[in-house]
Structures are given as C-alpha cells and as structure tokens.
Structure 1
Amino acid sequence: MIGVLVTFTQTGKFDRSALEKIAAELRGPFEGMAGLRFKSFMLDEDGARARNFYVWDDEEKARAFFTEEIVDKVTGIYGAPPHIEYLDVVGFVDNSGT
C-alpha cells in the first residue's frame, strides 16, 4: 500500500464551508475507484492548509492518478497548487467494519 498526502497552502485561511462543499461534490468519482482504499478531505487547525490523504493498493495506481491534468484541475478548485508526497504505508488499522 502507498499513502499520498496532497497539501494546498494559502497565505490566508481556507473557508471550511467551501471545503465541505468541495468534498461533497468530489466524493462521487472516488467511490468505488479501482485501487483506491481510502480518501479523506482535511483542514488543518489554523485553516491555512487543506490536505487530502489517499491510501492506494499500489504505487503505480497512485502515481497514475496524479496526472498533470489532475494537478491543474485541483489547483483551480483549491486556488493553490498541490504539494504531493508519496508515503510507504507500513501498517494500517481499519476499524470501519466494527
């Protein structure tokens, strides 16, 4: 498994309600996406960084998703270019079935 942390940073604060709307609108295409185990839309404590975290089955699928077209699209949506980090998932706990 591989994790991908995508961070959008602004000089000001992100509007929480605007991010909630983005999350609601963009949720659909990710539901049932092949190779994607998990995706979250997050906002840090000070509101300056919006972060999305993904867990993929493998690195190939993760890297294939983050095309130049996707990067351009999310830059427009969030108003800031993303910083993308690929992380090796060495352990995972999933309590969603309990």
Structure 2
Amino acid sequence: MIGVLVTFTQTQKFDRSTLAKIAGELRGPFEGMAGLRFKSFMLDEDGFQAKNFYVWDDEDTARAFFTEELVGKVTGIYGVPPKIEYLDIVGFVDNSGT
C-alpha cells in the first residue's frame, strides 16, 4: 500500500463550506475507483491548508493517477498548485468494518 498526501497552501484561510462543497462534488468519481482504498478531504486546524489523503493498493497506480493534467485541474479548483507526497504505508488499522 502507498499513501499520498496532497497539500494546498494558501496565504488566506480556506472557507470550510467551500471545501465541503468541493468534497461533495468530487466524491463520486472516487467511489469504486480501481486501486483506491480510501480518500479523505481535510482542512488543517489553522485553515490555511487543504489536504487530501489517499490510500492506494500500489505505487504505480497512485503515480499514474497524479498526471500533469490532473495537477492542473486541481490547481484550478483550489486556486493554488498542490504539493504531492508519496508515503510508504508500513502498517494500517482499518476499523471501518466493526
């Protein structure tokens, strides 16, 4: 498994309701997406960073998803380019089935 943390940093605070609307509008294409186990839309405590966290089955699938075209699209949505970090998941707890 591989985690991907995508961070959008602004100089002004993100509007939480706007981010919630974005999450609602963008949720559909991710539901049932091959190779994607989880995706979350998040806002940091201070409100200056929107963060999306993905858990993928494998690194190749994850890297194939984050194309230049996709980066351009999300830059337009969030108003700033993202920082994309690939993280090796060495352990995972999933309590969603309980």
Could you say whether these structures have the same fold, taking a TM-score greater than 0.5 normalized by the shorter chain as the test? yes
Unaligned runs of 5+ in 2: none
Report the Cα distance in structure 1 between the residues aligned to 2:26 and 2:13, rounded to whole angstroms. Answer: 21
Report the Cα distance in structure 1 between the residues aligned to 2:65 and 2:96, rounded to whole angstroms. Answer: 25
| Distance apart, 1:64 and its partner CA | 0.1
The answer to whether the aligner puts 1:54 opposite 2:54 as a matched pair is yes
Question: 1:41 is matched with which residue?
Answer: 41
The residue matched to 1:37 in structure 2 has which SS? strand
Question: 1:4 is matched with which residue?
Answer: 4
How many residues of Structure 1 are paired with residues of Structure 2 in the alignment?
Answer: 98
Q: Deviations over 1:8-56 (max 9, x none)?
A: 0000000000000000000000000000000000000000000000000
The answer to whether the aligner puts 1:31 opposite 2:34 as a matched pair is no
Unaligned runs of 5+ in 1: none
| Distance apart, 1:76 and its partner CA | 0.2
Q: Deviations over 1:41-83 (max 9, x none)?
A: 0000000000000000000000000000000000000001000
Write out the 4+ residue segments of structure 1 that deviate beyond 6 Å after TM superposition.
Answer: none
The residue matched to 2:13 in structure 1 has which SS? coil
The residue matched to 1:24 in structure 2 has which SS? helix
Q: How does 1:67-82 map to 2 (within 5 A)?
A: 67-82=67-82
What TM-score do you get using the length of structure 2 for normalisation? 1.00
What TM-score do you get using the length of structure 1 for normalisation? 1.00
Q: Match of 1:56, as an amino acid? A: W
